[in-house]
Amino acid sequence: MRFPAILRANEAGEGDQNGPLPEGQRVGFAVVAMGRLSVEQILPAFAHSRKAKLAALVSGFPEKLHVLGRQYGLGADRLFGYEAFEKLASVDDVRVVYIVLPNSMHKEFVLRSAAIGKHVLCEKPMATNSQDAGTMITACKSENLKLMIAYRCRYQPHHRELIRRVQSHEFGPVKLVEAVNAQNQGDPNQWRLRKALSGGGSLPDIGLYGLNAARATLGEEPVEIQAQLSSTPNDPRFREVEESVVWTMRFPSGALAALSTSYGTHRGSRMAVHMDEASLILDHAFPYHGQRLSLVRARDGLETETIIDVPANDQFALEIDHMADCVLNDRAPDTPGEEGLRDMQLMADVYQAAQSGTRLQL
Amino acid sequence: MRFPAILRANEAGEGDQNGPLPEGQRVGFAVVAMGRLSVEQILPAFAHSRKAKLAALVSGFPEKLHVLGRQYGLGADRLFGYEAFEKLASVDDVRVVYIVLPNSMHKEFVLRSAAIGKHVLCEKPMATNSQDAGTMITACKSENLKLMIAYRCRYQPHHRELIRRVQSHEFGPVKLVEAVNAQNQGDPNQWRLRKALSGGGSLPDIGLYGLNAARATLGEEPVEIQAQLSSTPNDPRFREVEESVVWTMRFPSGALAALSTSYGTHRGSRMAVHMDEASLILDHAFPYHGQRLSLVRARDGLETETIIDVPANDQFALEIDHMADCVLNDRAPDTPGEEGLRDMQLMADVYQAAQSGTRLQL
Amino acid sequence: MRFPAILRANEAGEGDQNGPLPEGQRVGFAVVAMGRLSVEQILPAFAHSRKAKLAALVSGFPEKLHVLGRQYGLGADRLFGYEAFEKLASVDDVRVVYIVLPNSMHKEFVLRSAAIGKHVLCEKPMATNSQDAGTMITACKSENLKLMIAYRCRYQPHHRELIRRVQSHEFGPVKLVEAVNAQNQGDPNQWRLRKALSGGGSLPDIGLYGLNAARATLGEEPVEIQAQLSSTPNDPRFREVEESVVWTMRFPSGALAALSTSYGTHRGSRMAVHMDEASLILDHAFPYHGQRLSLVRARDGLETETIIDVPANDQFALEIDHMADCVLNDRAPDTPGEEGLRDMQLMADVYQAAQSGTRLQL
Amino acid sequence: MRFPAILRANEAGEGDQNGPLPEGQRVGFAVVAMGRLSVEQILPAFAHSRKAKLAALVSGFPEKLHVLGRQYGLGADRLFGYEAFEKLASVDDVRVVYIVLPNSMHKEFVLRSAAIGKHVLCEKPMATNSQDAGTMITACKSENLKLMIAYRCRYQPHHRELIRRVQSHEFGPVKLVEAVNAQNQGDPNQWRLRKALSGGGSLPDIGLYGLNAARATLGEEPVEIQAQLSSTPNDPRFREVEESVVWTMRFPSGALAALSTSYGTHRGSRMAVHMDEASLILDHAFPYHGQRLSLVRARDGLETETIIDVPANDQFALEIDHMADCVLNDRAPDTPGEEGLRDMQLMADVYQAAQSGTRLQL
């Protein structure tokens, strides 16, 4: 179905006329763990999806299953405790398991998913260490199942436009990349601040976004890393995990990156890519919404800054739809397990560089 | 279900934990007419809704019904041609008819909806003339049915925050209101440019937003109107309807408004409310997304401009949910038929003032 | 003297290498009246000028003359009371008299300047009525002297860039112009609020900027005017003069303008020009500094907003230098007495249209 | 002289009523070297100064002296070749020598200035190495003369407001500082790219701004440094000096800084200070004009971003006036030679850390 344009041809596009897939053709997902992220973001995102549907819930809290099952129209036969996870095997229209558990539990459930023949979408960071990440990849590979890591920003339209423009080389080579992602963590008792559960502090939870975005934007892997950590002494939030990290990386092209993250400051989230002839700036780079892309350059002898109004969508819906599309068309995700493993290794390198105080050659 | 905050208490709110209503408790809507607005905006909006569900489609094009019915999971028993509209009477879970037809057909379908006992949500402008608007109100009233006009901006969070702040009087009385809404219409043959179908040009289609927003923001009705029209000679788009309108209004409080609209310029959409101690500016005021609210004032002897990041949602979903909520709780909509009629009368006044060249005292 | 560029050729221009004229070649100005505008803006502006110099001061307050003469290095032979104004005749290097008196006194001092053979730069509004303005023009003409009205924005680089781009027609014809200029007047006893001294309220003092800018931007004269006034009852500031004005104008090209001004709101100052393919927005349009020019248009199907960083200068210095240049090269100012007269007549038309409540055909 | 406010008390301040000092009371400066910076920025800045005056020029080019002397009203007795520099000794009203030579020549002329009993304002970087910097300090100290390094940003109002707010601790401790300063150098033959003349590449010329600003904002000295350099192979601009540097620092409070600079990208200039409850962002941080300060924080549960419109002035005039004020009131400059030396040492540390690949403990 195509409608003629209402506006003149020189105006911006008028909207997307692609309808959603009918329910019956969509890929069913089981979501595992009903914490804040699932309830506030992921479950609602299925309504914005075009190719995926919510088909089952897994939680350790029967009351949550009851309430959410009612809200989302899922009967008792689609609600499972952790111990009954394997019963998903026989829910035919569940083709993907979306794992939203604390990081330390990712491995167990990826392995259990693989064992019952389900594809996996796993939240980032992929695991709490590279060894687990490798095990997870092998488990899915050996069953010929897809494993995608939920790097939602990689499916976000502003990020994709940024990457497209940088890699078009229309502004010459990249020389510097800056990225920061920071927020002010509250409750000292949340699992993100327990190292055994999270694997680390600000770095794997939010600093990871800048790391991944820098690699994706440059389309290169870093060859050198240096890092420094800091935690406020006696702050009960940072007994086990780091508060702040600053780190720098060199890439084969000669590009340098300066990145930072913190669990102890007001929200800050931005990425800047400085090229020969222009800079691309992504403000509000990594939150769930509010991305703003601007292009800074000189034109006709005058400095200009152009905000490019990229149409946005629910980030989780885009990510889920990418996974659904991979299943429907049997193709590899843009952010497979190997991408998650690469970041796990690099984060281990960041920690090692910080501890040793020396530059790591990769 | 409530989750503890992840962030510190002095950070912004972390998201909405209210889940949607279960399917069975939602209010069913039949959408009438499958044009661009329905297909691109309204049908997808039901997925973002929390209290409403799409329950039937009405169209003059069987092929559209077929395709959209499949996409949205509606069987043949929920798809109707215009001639079969009255069969909706027996579709029990359709409680509201959402009329998205060309303006001139609103009256007929409001009356047909009322005749079969269905509440009505009707697109703006309500009708092509005030007389029809009055007839529509009477028809719904006499059947004890709700009639809501689809002023989506009135349910948009930035607009509501603007109105709340102005009416709190924290910045003193309003002296001036500015509003502009303009876009560059294309195809000269579209129904919006046929006066018999639309009732007018830029004024009823897009200028209406500024008119309604000015009234809602001030919480007053204008007492004087002056206006000027202009259309580019020989532009095939403006053979029947006006291209541009500028008009001014005085309100009982003494506030003045300067408003403008055009069908012949690049997109422009903004509202400014100038008060004694501050101005509130709503940029991208009336499009489907992208609203930006800023507060301009002096603090500590320095001029400041504060962007207030109001969380936004799909505007049509908010509007639909308001109607659903009115049905569920038997309350009157914030923008009932009377609100639509008031604007119809005022737009007639704008046209009359423009033609006569004299100030209209209301 | 020319220096090679430090930066690459694709970067913005690196600065202006034109030095100032030597003192002896500059045009000397006598400034008349040592009120706030003179002391805070105009006297310091001579230091930023390249072609003008401060050569004499005229004031009714001997103490002010004493203090300012010392600050600016002017001896007693260059300081004059109003009664001794004619002694300027024999100060050879004073070639221009800059009149910064209350509006009602402009005429007297233009005439006295003409009588002693000095060119005149006169603050806006030119006078308190059109008849005086005509007399002033005739007086200067008959002595073959230049008369320039101090429309500083017309010499401001952002304004000039806006006008240049609009009149290049690269974005098609103008359909709508919006302008607002508002501020919150304080002390009810200041001369600006005494009608006999000022000639009016917000309109001639600050609304005039939008009027003049609209005409200059379109390069056309309005053919129709409508207007509405409003003043808060019992506000001691508005016993004699109007608080707020909104007015609309039609131009021969079909362009419409919606303008507003107020003496009773927080500072608001903006101009928008809506053309077929783009809008040009000038924020902070009329204050002494802070202008911001942006171009809104669609590119490659995406909406864009480009801030164009126009190098700015002290506005009064630019205006003074324009006058100096006219004297040095015997050319007519861009804003001669006739330009001031045109605005005086149009402001009289605005008042008449407001009072009559009918559209004025010009 | 004080004028009553025109605007209401709740509006922003209306301007500065402090007049300039009379010519005879001002501090005379001799400017040494008539390159681009002098001609385009520093000589014109004296006109904006309130306490300083241009009293002599020193250059190796007689033609430049001739032209500029005429423009600035300086007779032959105030124009000197480098060889005649010592004749300044007898120009009584020259109390300060402002050295704008290539970096490698700073030492010689500071010493020659001290030898003839003149105070010194010296451009940054202070020297090409720390040893020279120490010699320069000693030379001035032993003659009881003031030595100020021309860190113009330290006298710029946005920077001062940023520092004031950070150090007020109203938003809690600083956790992260980001700064970038980059531009795209052109002509490979300019002296800035000759190591013997400049002492280094992007770091001492423009990266220095971020380094100095980070220290000034935190009010602390770094205790650890790590760094990485990069230069595009075969780029003729970077045969002798580095193109880009990224470096990180830890401060005693625990704050971390991530800084970067480049001579090979489009202009980028920004500083961000992330504190517990807010971030302060300075855009266009280090150019000659265009600074924009914003405060990002949550209020009432909503994220806000407030642009604080700090009145700006010519940066060089502010810097010059600071030096003049120090001379007039016999006080120490805010950025004395010791401040320049500290940065020289830290830049040497950055280079050493980059070369060694290990963290430097200071």
- Quote the pLDDT of residue D170: 96
Contacts of C301 in chain A (CB under 8 A): 12-13
Give A178-189 as a DSSP string: EEEEEEEB--TT
- Quote the pLDDT of residue C46: 94
CB C173 within 8 A of CB C253: yes
**Amino acid identity for residue C256 in this structure:** L
Q: Which of C243, C248, C259 sits opposite B228 (nearest CB)?
A: C248
> Chains A and D: how many Cβ contacts under 8 Å?
171
Distance from CA of C139 to the nearest CA of B (A): 39
Nearest CA in chain B to C248: B246
Distance from CA of B274 to the nearest CA of C (A): 6
- Quote the pLDDT of residue A17: 63
Strands B27-32 and B94-99: parallel
Q: With an 8 Å Cβ cutoff, are C357 and B358 in contact?
A: yes
What crossing angle do the helices spanning B130-142 and B337-356 adopt, rounded to 10°? 170
Q: With an 8 Å Cβ cutoff, are A20 and B70 in contact?
A: no
CA dihedral B213, B214, B216, B220 (to 10 degrees): -160
What is the b/e burial string over C280-296, where b = at least 16 CB atoms within 10 angstroms of the residue's CB? bbbbbbbbbebbbbbbb
Q: Residue C43 has what DSSP assignment? A: H
CATH 3.40.50.720 correct for D23-151: yes
CB D254 within 8 A of CB A238: no
Architecture of domain A23-150: 3-Layer(aba) Sandwich (3.40)
Percent above pLDDT 90 for chain B: 93
Q: With an 8 Å Cβ cutoff, are C39 and D23 in contact?
A: no
Distance from CA of A210 to the nearest CA of D (A): 14
Q: How many CA atoms lie within 13 A of D222 on its CB side?
A: 29
Distance CA A246, CA D257 (A): 7
Distance CA D154, CA D257 (A): 19
> Chains B and C: how many Cβ contacts under 8 Å?
171
Q: With an 8 Å Cβ cutoff, are B11 and D308 in contact?
A: no
Distance CA A200, CA A227 (A): 15
Q: With an 8 Å Cβ cutoff, are B184 and A20 in contact?
A: no
Burial of B14 (0-12, 13-18, 19+ CB in 10 A): middle
Distance separating the N- and C-terminal Cα atoms of chain C: 52
Mean predicted confidence (pLDDT) in D59-76: 95
Contacts of B9 in chain D (CB under 8 A): none
- Quote the pLDDT of residue A70: 93
What distance separates the 2 farthest-apart alpha carbons in chain C? Answer: 67
Q: With an 8 Å Cβ cutoff, are D304 and B306 in contact?
A: yes
**Distant-in-sequence, close-in-space partners of B219: CB < 8 Å, separation ≥ 6:** B167
What distance separates the 2 farthest-apart alpha carbons in chain D? Answer: 67
Which CATH homologous superfamily contains domain C153-312+336-361?
Dihydrodipicolinate Reductase; domain 2 (3.30.360.10)
Omega cis (within 30) before B4 = no
Q: With an 8 Å Cβ cutoff, are B304 and D304 in contact?
A: no
The per-residue pLDDT for range C65-75, each reduced to its tens digit, is: 999 999 999 99
Mutation target to probe the A interface, by most A beta carbons within 10 A, among C275, C302, C310 is C302
> Which residues of B are annotated as catalytic?
124, 209
Distance CA A192, CA A254 (A): 35
Q: With an 8 Å Cβ cutoff, are A258 and D258 in contact?
A: yes
Burial of A189 (0-12, 13-18, 19+ CB in 10 A): exposed
Distance CA A278, CA A298 (A): 8
Question: From the candidates D98, D151, D155, D209, which is the catalytic residue?
Answer: D209
- Quote the pLDDT of residue A3: 81
Whole-Å CA distances, A16 to A1, A2, B40, B268, C204: 11, 10, 6, 21, 50
Whole-Å CA distances, B227 to B357, B359, D311: 7, 8, 40
CB D140 within 8 A of CB D120: yes
Domain boundaries, chain B: 23-151, 153-312+335-361
Distance from CA of A36 to the nearest CA of B (A): 6
Distance CA D329, CA D321 (A): 12
**Amino acid identity for residue C301 in this structure:** G
Instruction: For Cα atoms D29, D31, D37, give the angle at the middle one, nearest 5 degrees.
Output: 130
**Predicted complex ipTM:** 0.96
3-state SS, residue D184: strand
- Quote the pLDDT of residue C17: 63
Tokens matching residue D236:
């003729």
Beta bridge partners of B174: B275
CA dihedral D163, D169, D173, D176 (to 10 degrees): -20
The per-residue pLDDT for range D155-185, each reduced to its tens digit, is: 999 999 999 999 999 999 999 999 999 999 9
Concerning whether A288 is annotated as a catalytic residue, the answer is: no
Nearest CA in chain B to A185: B7
Whole-Å CA distances, A290 to A207, A282, A285, C295: 18, 10, 8, 22
Q: With an 8 Å Cβ cutoff, are D23 and C73 in contact?
A: yes
CB B244 within 8 A of CB C256: yes
**Distant-in-sequence, close-in-space partners of D170: CB < 8 Å, separation ≥ 6:** none
Distance CA A239, CA D345 (A): 35
For residues A71 and D2, the model is more confident at A71
pLDDT tens for the 362 residues of chain A, in order = 778 888 888 888 877 667 789 989 999 999 999 999 999 999 999 988 999 999 999 999 999 999 999 999 999 999 999 999 999 999 999 999 999 999 999 999 999 999 999 999 999 999 999 999 999 999 999 999 999 999 999 999 999 999 999 999 999 999 999 999 999 999 999 999 999 999 999 999 999 999 999 999 999 999 999 999 999 999 999 999 999 999 999 999 999 999 999 999 999 999 999 999 999 999 999 999 999 999 999 999 999 999 999 998 899 999 999 999 999 999 999 999 999 999 999 999 999 999 999 999 99
| pLDDT mean across residues, chain C | 96
Tokens matching residue C85:
């104004």
Distance CA A192, CA A189 (A): 8
Contacts of D4 in chain C (CB under 8 A): 187, 190
- Quote the pLDDT of residue B17: 63
Contacts of A268 in chain D (CB under 8 A): 176, 272, 274, 279, 296
Contacts of A17 in chain B (CB under 8 A): 36, 39-40
Sign of the dihedral defined by the CA atoms of residues D340, D342, D348, D353, in that order: negative
| A285 alpha carbon, distance to own chain's centre | 12
- Quote the pLDDT of residue B240: 97
Banded pLDDT at B4 (limits 50, 70, 90): confident
- Other residues' Cβ atoms within 10 Å of the Cβ of residue B124: 22
Tokens matching residue B6:
């992840």
Tokens matching residue A347:
């984060």
CB D3 within 8 A of CB C177: no
Question: From the candidates A98, A124, A146, A151, which is the catalytic residue?
Answer: A124
**Phi, psi at residue C234, to the nearest 5°?**
70, 5
Contacts of C316 in chain D (CB under 8 A): none
Banded pLDDT at D231 (limits 50, 70, 90): very high
Distance CA A42, CA A25 (A): 20
- Subunit partners of chain C (3 or more CB pairs within 8 A): A, B, D
Q: Which of B5, B40, B68 sits opposite A15 (nearest CB)?
A: B40
**Distant-in-sequence, close-in-space partners of A249: CB < 8 Å, separation ≥ 6:** A214, A222, A224, A225, A226, A256, A257, A259
Give B248-312 as a DSSP string: EEE-TTS-EEEEEEESEEEEEEEEEEEESS-EEEEET-SSSS--EEEEEEEETTEEEEEEEE---
Contacts of B70 in chain A (CB under 8 A): 22
Distance from CA of C235 to the nearest CA of D (A): 13
The per-residue pLDDT for range B261-290, each reduced to its tens digit, is: 999 999 999 999 999 999 999 999 999 999
Distance CA C227, CA C248 (A): 6
CB D128 within 8 A of CB D199: yes
Asked which of C4-18, C34-48, C150-164 is least confident by mean pLDDT, the reply is: C4-18
Distance from CA of A297 to the nearest CA of D (A): 7
Contacts of B78 in chain A (CB under 8 A): none
Distance from CA of C237 to the nearest CA of D (A): 11
CATH 3.40.50.300 correct for A157-311+337-361: no
Report yes or no on whether pTM surpasses 0.90.
Answer: yes
Nearest CA in chain A to D230: A254
The per-residue pLDDT for range B127-165, each reduced to its tens digit, is: 999 999 999 999 999 999 999 999 999 999 999 999 999
Distance CA D98, CA D78 (A): 14
Q: Which of B232, B267, B359 sits opposite C303 (nearest CB)?
A: B267
Q: With an 8 Å Cβ cutoff, are A305 and C307 in contact?
A: yes
**Nearest residue to D314 via CA among D68, D50, D97:** D50
3-state SS, residue B38: helix
- Subunit partners of chain A (3 or more CB pairs within 8 A): B, C, D
Q: With an 8 Å Cβ cutoff, are B265 and C248 in contact?
A: no
3-state SS, residue A167: helix
- B153-312+335-361 has which CATH code? 3.30.360.10
Question: From the candidates C53, C124, C151, C155, which is the catalytic residue?
Answer: C124
